[in-house]
Structure 1
Amino acid sequence: SATLLDAVRDELALRLPSVMLPQHLQLIDSFPRLANGKVDRKALQQLAATSADDEGMQPRDALEQLLVTRMAQLLG
């Protein structure tokens, strides 16, 4: 799945301006549906929120760790 996501990112980079490139991509087996067959947008939002909670939330390096620490001190 990582190679598929990389291929999608590469293709999007060829076709879209850099400001339009998505920050996160997520593979799903199918769109969640309501009983009437429509796409369940709330469930999609929950999938996106869960994905955001799972990835990218940890500081990647010492600078990010310092920023996280300082912001936590400022915000209490």
Structure 2
Amino acid sequence: MHELFETGDIAKVMLEELAEKLWAYMQNNLITKDEASMEIESLEKEIETLKRLESPLTQEERISYVPVEIAVRELKKTYENLS
């Protein structure tokens, strides 16, 4: 694993920030749907970047991404249901 950071920790923080923004959008219209879409895209790119930085991934490292990827899919579903 990369010495400068723990991938899972960074991804969790990013997910929390995105979830807060989406929640704010849903509850108070504080961000636009386009902004929420950009946040989701940004998060997906960051996860892919982190995976490349750690490449080649061990089985354990690949498994560590599963919860993050599931959470991103759930956020995308939430976003799609905002319409």
* Length-normalised TM-score, structure 2: 0.30
Between Structure 1 and Structure 2, the one with more helix by share is 2
Q: Name the larger-Rg structure.
A: 1
* Length-normalised TM-score, structure 1: 0.32
Higher relative contact order, chain-length normalized (CA < 8 Å, sep 6+): 2
